[in-house]
Chain A
Amino acid sequence: MKHAGLPFWLAVGALLVVVLGAAFAERLAPFGPGEQDITQRLQPPALRGHVLGTDELGRDILSRLLYGGRVSLLVGLIAVGLSCPVGMLVGVTAGYAGRRVDDVLMRVTEVQLAIPTILLAIAVIGVLGPGLSNVILTLTVTGWTLYARLIRGETLAVKERDYVVAARAAGAGDLRIMGRHVIPNVLSPVIVVAVFAVANMIILEATLSFLGLGVEPQVVTWGRMLNAGRLYLATAWWLMTFPGLAIFVTVLSVNLIGDHLRDWLDPRLRRSLL
């Protein structure tokens, strides 16, 4: 890997900590994430007991950070995991299937791209109501267009390559060609985009929380913690700082890793719209 310097390895390390923390939350968390005790609310971080302090309902912040990380990461991963195939499908079909299909699919994509993501998210949640599954659905619906455009461009390029032309000449079916030849070659840029998308989803979830359109109250995410702590910035800084740091470190790490991933996978990809 080119110049995989200190920042890159720090990022990998940080992400590893986050992921492990989220995965083993049950074992690592000293308290339950929903254990409330209003007589213990807003306690500052202490060496023993609540290491990162307690929130407005007396719940342990460290525990909520761990469990919250799980949900925040999962939301991002699932949303990307759903939107990516959808977008790829649309993109490959558009690129491969010919002018008319291409036009129609691209129109739809452009229509959605013309609407700012947040507005679309608000509108969708407005219809469905807030809640974890609806948030994931919303993020999926707003996210697929990213891949569609990208893949379509790449498909168009790959379509004229030798091996594809040869396969077609040999009589291979369209689906087969798409599956065996096109998709593997467009996978690299998709992976890069997907990685960055996960990071963006985490931020988007926090923004939806800010607007009151996030997950249910009993589900803990970093976005929810960040928002709940907003009013306590001056009086109980730990409520906002730790989830904020968690988001910051995670997103930063993911972005840095994504950068290197892109450099590594194919320098040509820089041309892609990221």
Chain B
Amino acid sequence: MAFGVSLAVFALVHLSGDPVLLMVPTDAPPEVVAETRRALGFDRPLPEQFARWIARAVQGDLGVSLRNHRPVAGLIAERMPATVELTVAALVIAVLVAVPAGIVSAVNRGTWIDSLTMVGAVAGQALPVFWLALLLIAFFGVHLRWLPVYGHGTLAHLVLPAVSLSTIVLGRLARLVRSSMLEVLGQDYVRTARAKGLAEPRVLAIHALRNAAIPVVTVLGLQFAQLLGGAVVTETIFAWPGVGRLVVEAIFNRDFPIVQGVVLVVSLIFVVVNLLVDVAYVVIDPRIRVARA
């Protein structure tokens, strides 16, 4: 599957424009342009270029950036941890907020608590991330001076970007938790447990949560990819040294090797995350043998 992704992106990126003209001075004579093209191998037919790239990629050589001539693998290795850190932090925040919100909503279904919580959760998704980020910077960064507004290093640097990013998935997650819980709470075995006289919190915790967790875990896996994408905007605003910014700049600069390398790595991560999700299924309830739908 990673192969398929790489192929698609390779084709797309190469169709998008000629990087050679970007790399030479704007007034360069045609011989210089042709020479550069030859030196980089761009005059070979596309399939050949792709084959060579794949062959090298398998050995860990993702090529060299067209713009600054550094090895792509090194660039990605340098920047990936920061993005993962941001994405995981955003996911953690989203879960920490959405799960209680969803549970509270489900348990108090139909009341104003339910409505308010859901509206609140959804509200976060009704704003483009960059606007929220701007407001957070203006308020917490400049006005209150509590938190730094750019860069990477301490936990304090992580707060604003992670909070901004978490809003992308928060609403959906909260809604999902709520509906999962509602469904589970209405199930027979829960009623049975209640009838048996088990304490309510226990009912919730053991039976309801566990079953409600399944769709949530599934969605987490999918949302990870969305978060990686949303990180692009967040990384730009907060000058977060991650891979999202790297790849956006690379696309604008027609820096193919970086784009291909990042997409390959990201899709590999995605595959890994999906595997983890499948494992989590089994862990949450060994009885469930879910065919991957």
A and B in contact, CB less than 8 Å: yes
B-binding residues in A (CB < 8 A): 2-3, 5-7, 107-108, 110-119, 122-124, 126-127, 153, 156, 199, 203, 206-207, 210-211, 223, 226, 230, 233-234, 240, 244, 247-249, 251-252, 255-256, 259, 267, 270-271, 273-274
B47 to chain A, nearest CB (A): 19
Docked-complex contact B270 and A233, CB < 8 angstroms: no
Which of B38-46, B169-177, B201-209 lies at the interface with chain A? B169-177
Given the complex, which residues of A lie within 8 Å of B112, measured CB to CB?
5
One digit per residue, 1 when the CB lies within 8 angstroms of any chain A CB and 0 when it does not, for chain B 30-58 equals 00000000000000000000000000000
Contact A203:B119 (CB < 8 A) given known A115-B266, A274-B176: no
- Is A259 a contact of B118 with CB atoms below 8 Å? yes
List chain B residues, Cβ under 8 A from A249.
Answer: 126
With contact pairs A203-B128, A223-B128, A248-B126 given, residues A124 and B12 touching in the complex (Cβ less than 8 Å): yes
Q: How far is the CB of A146 from chain B (nearest CB, A)?
A: 10
Q: List 3 A-B pairs, minimum CB-CB distance, nearest first.
A: A116-B229, A270-B179, A251-B126
Whether A123 pairs with B251 at a CB distance below 8 angstroms is yes
B97 on interface, CB distance cutoff 8 Å: no
Assess whether A110 is in contact with B230, with CB atoms less than 8 Å apart.
no
A210 with B130: in contact, given A110-B1, A113-B225, A273-B219 (CB under 8 Å)?
Answer: yes
**Residue B86 is within 8 A (CB to CB) of chain A in the complex:** no
Contact A114 B16 (CB under 8 A): no
Minimum CB–CB distance for B85 against chain A, Å = 17
Q: Are B266 and A211 in contact (CB under 8 A)?
A: no
Q: Taking the nearest CB of chain B, how far is it from the CB of A197, in angstroms?
A: 12
- B259 partner residues in chain A, CB cutoff 8 A: 123
Flag if B122 contacts A116 (CB, 8 Å).
no
Chain B: how many interface residues by the 8 Å CB criterion?
59
Partner of B222, one of A111, A203, A255, A273: A273
For window 172-215 of B, CB contacts with A under 8 Å fall at 172, 175-176, 179-180, 182-183, 215
Interface contact tally, CB-CB below 8 A: 143
In chain A, what residue has the closest Cβ to B109? A3
Among B3-11, B60-68, B153-161, B280-288, which stretch is in contact with chain A? B3-11
A271: chain B residues at CB < 8 Å are 183, 215
State whether A7 touches B119 (Cβ < 8 A): yes
Is B28's CB within 8 Å of the partner chain A? no
The answer on a CB contact under 8 Å between A207 and B233 is yes
Q: Is the CB of A206 within 8 A of B110?
A: no
A226 touches B131 (CB 8 A): yes
Report how far A204 CA is from B172 CA in the complex, Å: 16
* Residues 110-157 of B contacting A (Cβ, < 8 Å): 110, 112, 114-115, 118-119, 122-123, 125-131, 134, 138
Q: Is the CB of B183 within 8 A of A116?
A: no
What are 14 A-B contacts defined by CB distance under 8 Å?
A2-B110, A3-B110, A116-B229, A118-B230, A119-B251, A126-B17, A127-B15, A206-B130, A207-B128, A207-B233, A234-B138, A247-B126, A271-B183, A274-B172
Our pick among B15, B119, B122, B233 for the contact of A210 (Cβ within 8 Å) is B233
Majority secondary structure of chain A interface residues (helix, strand, loop or mixed):
helix
Q: Is the CB of B247 within 8 A of A252?
A: no
CB distance from A102 to the nearest CB of B (A): 11
Main secondary structure of the interface of B (DSSP, over half): helix
Please give, as numbers and ranges, the residues of chain B lying within 8 Å of A244 by CB-CB distance.
Answer: 127, 131
Closest to A196 in B: B172
Closest to B121 in A: A255
Contact among A116, A156, A199 with B266 in the assembled complex (CB-CB below 8 Å): A116
Q: Which of B5, B128, B175 contacts A274 (CB 8 A)?
A: B175
Contacts of B251 in A (CB 8 A): 119, 122-123, 126
Residue numbers in B under 8 Å from A114 (CB-CB): 1-2, 5, 225, 266-267, 270-271
B160–chain A nearest beta-carbon distance, Å: 16
Residue of A111, A124, A203, A207 with most chain B CB atoms under a 10 A cut-off: A111
B137 and chain A: residue at smallest CB distance? A233
Q: Considering the complex, give the chain B residue whose CB is closest to the CB of A234.
A: B138
> Across the interface, do A206 and B122 meet the contact criterion of CB distance under 8 Å?
no
| Contacts A123-B259, A252-B123 known; 19 new A-B pairs at CB < 8 A | A3-B114, A113-B222, A114-B1, A114-B2, A115-B225, A115-B266, A119-B229, A119-B266, A122-B232, A123-B9, A203-B127, A206-B130, A207-B130, A211-B233, A226-B131, A233-B138, A252-B119, A270-B183, A274-B172
Q: Which residue of B lies closest to A117 (CB)?
A: B229
Q: Would A248 and B229 count as touching, CB distance under 8 A?
A: no
Nearest A residue to B8 by beta-carbon distance? A111
Nearest-neighbor residue (CB-CB) of B247 within chain A: A119
How far, in angstroms, from A2 to B2 measured CA to CA in the complex? 45
Residue B263 at the chain A interface, CB threshold 8 Å:
yes
The CA-CA distance from A115 to B118 in the complex, in Å, is 29
Q: Which chain B residues lie closer than 8 Å to A270 at the CB level?
A: 179-180, 182-183
Complex interface bits, B244-285 against A, C-beta within 8 A gives 1, otherwise 0: 000110011000000100010011001100000000000000
